[in-house]
Structure 1
């Protein structure tokens, strides 16, 4: 299962671009569902106007993502009249979708988890389990740990501890990612105003069929296919 992080951003564009981000997000999520790709929105930056987004960061998981993302990564154009400034002469608005490099990704290997049995404890006077049924699970690479004493069964507590440790490490990963992507101004500043990968039109935000061929992307897909056949 591959994991990738993408960011849809308006750059430092006006409210119209932030509105486009929100609309593109709807279409993108619909496409993810259609292709059975798991996703989780991990960061949102609201725009200045209601129902607009300056940027949104999404985690994707699937067996293969390259071919799907080749249809989305790049500049996205909307052609339409601004709802915020109807008299504005500008009719072309640009946002972008980027692939975010992950500096660190925790791989949770069960061999990296150690379990320690310990006696359960509770408030003074409360009946507690006098045997070593509580379980402390420790993930050695990250030094993350959890203590579970939910059950009188050591075996059951171990199962619960493993689940909670995985959840805790996954949450740490997401928190770190949120921190890293919150101020990714390099993406916000470098939106290419031409050669859009997707074009939408009108207030109903209908997708426009792009007739131009994307030679670079086609060659990349051919190269990937050749590599797969040679392996």
Structure 2
């Protein structure tokens, strides 16, 4: 019987995977040639994903044989009907694995792998959505939640841009943070932890302005972007329109009386960035460029994922801002993440920065094998 071509390919890759695995375990090799070690580690990660698919593929082929056996030998019509439906599902799953494998095999190893990207600093953007003043107040609450979390893990943050909410309610319409490690030597994945926060955060509670005690639903959006440099994204300065203006926020006489605030508009992508928190126009320009590079990088990354159709079925962590990811229900003291159907009944603790448990669950789910 002729062997399946994909099985033959998988067997070759499995052998290569074990060879690379033995090679990267060698600590001397790691210390002597770090560049080669990094390349091997990237290939190891890619092959590991392919071998997860291989295991799924083998199990599905065994299930297909069992279904075919029932269809050929069983005389019970009901069993045959079950086997027929099962075979139909298995063939669909096999087709998906074959396509997924082809995508991974045809995708070159990126110079920026997931591990490297996860270790980057992050730009965190919070914006009010539906709900008016109440949404602005919730932006402030989520900001406080993240700030308390940053303190727990030892990260520092800086406000790049802030736009206050309505005159009545306060809070923020928009706030952008630059989050980074306290020292270069500090370990920990900033973007790797925060990337799962991207999406729509919904709150259900009684607003302070509600006189009849009715629960209202409001929403905000969170976007987490990896910090990138000139090497990753090359921006032509002739494609940027730079405007300066006086800051409208708090910050003292100097900030408000000089044109230190900067607005950048990138014509090709139509992305606009503002920075008005610093006293120096030059520093505000640098911060705005940092945000602009991160947004362009994220847009390009999402575009490539869509083009290659390699979004995972389990958890899409590409920063899609239209997807409702989490609900904060104050009357029931509950926070629910809709991607993993997980609820934590300690909303007070969660809003006080205790969000690592949810992040760990999302990370574990994201790294798990493809579910059918």
Q: What is the TM-score when the length of structure 2 is the normalising length? A: 0.34
Q: Distance in 2 between matches of 1:10 and 1:200?
A: 17
For residue 97 of structure 1, report the CA deviation from its aligned partner. Answer: 0.8
For residue 210 of structure 1, report the CA deviation from its aligned partner. Answer: 3.0
For residue 13 of structure 1, report the CA deviation from its aligned partner. Answer: 4.0
Matched, 1:35 2:35: no
Deviation string, structure 1 residues 1-45 (Cα, Å, up to 9, x no partner):
622111011136411100110111111100111111221111101
Q: Distance in 2 between matches of 1:87 and 1:193?
A: 31
Q: Distance in 2 between matches of 1:175 and 1:70?
A: 20
Partner of 1:210: 336
Matched, 1:52 2:178: no
* Structure-2 change in CA distance of 1:66 and 1:42 (3 Å): closer
* Structure-2 change in CA distance of 1:177 and 1:11 (3 Å): farther
Structure 1: gaps spanning 5 or more residues = 108-166, 182-189, 224-231
Q: What is the TM-score when the length of structure 1 is the normalising length? A: 0.51
Of 62, 77, 84 in structure 1, the residue corresponding to residue 209 of structure 2 is 84
Q: How many correspondences in the alignment?
A: 152
For residue 90 of structure 1, report the CA deviation from its aligned partner. Answer: 5.3
Deviation string, structure 1 residues 94-121 (Cα, Å, up to 9, x no partner):
112112476x6357xxxxxxxxxxxxxx
The within-5 A match list for 1:11-160 is 11=129, 13-48=131-166, 49-62=168-181, 63-87=188-212, 89=214, 91-100=216-225, 105-106=229-230
Q: Distance in 1 between matches of 2:164 and 2:178?
A: 18
* Contact kept? 2:134, 2:207, Cα under 8 Å: yes
Larger Rg: 2
Structure 2: gaps spanning 5 or more residues = 1-118, 182-187, 232-279, 295-319, 342-361
For residue 180 of structure 1, report the CA deviation from its aligned partner. Answer: 8.8
For residue 57 of structure 1, report the CA deviation from its aligned partner. Answer: 0.3
Q: Distance in 1 between matches of 2:122 and 2:337?
A: 28
Q: Which moved more, 1:3-12 or 1:79-88?
A: 79-88
* Contact kept? 1:94, 1:193, Cα under 8 Å: no
- Say which SS state the counterpart of residue 172 (structure 1) adopts: helix
* Structure-2 change in CA distance of 1:3 and 1:105 (3 Å): same
Q: Distance in 1 between matches of 2:146 and 2:333?
A: 11
* Structure-2 change in CA distance of 1:22 and 1:92 (3 Å): same
Deviation string, structure 1 residues 192-213 (Cα, Å, up to 9, x no partner):
47441x52515xxx96343766
Q: Distance in 2 between matches of 1:58 and 1:222?
A: 30
More relative contact order in 1 or in 2 (CA 8 Å, sep 6+)?
A: 1
Of 78, 99, 122 in structure 2, the residue corresponding to residue 4 of structure 1 is 122
Q: Which moved more, 1:170-179 or 1:26-35?
A: 170-179
Matched, 1:220 2:366: yes
Q: Distance in 1 between matches of 2:153 and 2:204?
A: 27
- Say which SS state the counterpart of residue 22 (structure 1) adopts: helix
For residue 221 of structure 1, report the CA deviation from its aligned partner. Answer: 3.3
Deviation string, structure 1 residues 137-175 (Cα, Å, up to 9, x no partner):
xxxxxxxxxxxxxxxxxxxxxxxxxxxxxx997653214
* Contact kept? 1:5, 1:60, Cα under 8 Å: yes
Matched, 1:201 2:330: yes
Partner of 1:174: 287
For residue 59 of structure 1, report the CA deviation from its aligned partner. Answer: 0.8
User: Which has the larger strand fraction?
Assistant: 1
Q: Distance in 2 between matches of 1:87 and 1:94?
A: 21
- Say which SS state the counterpart of residue 19 (structure 1) adopts: helix
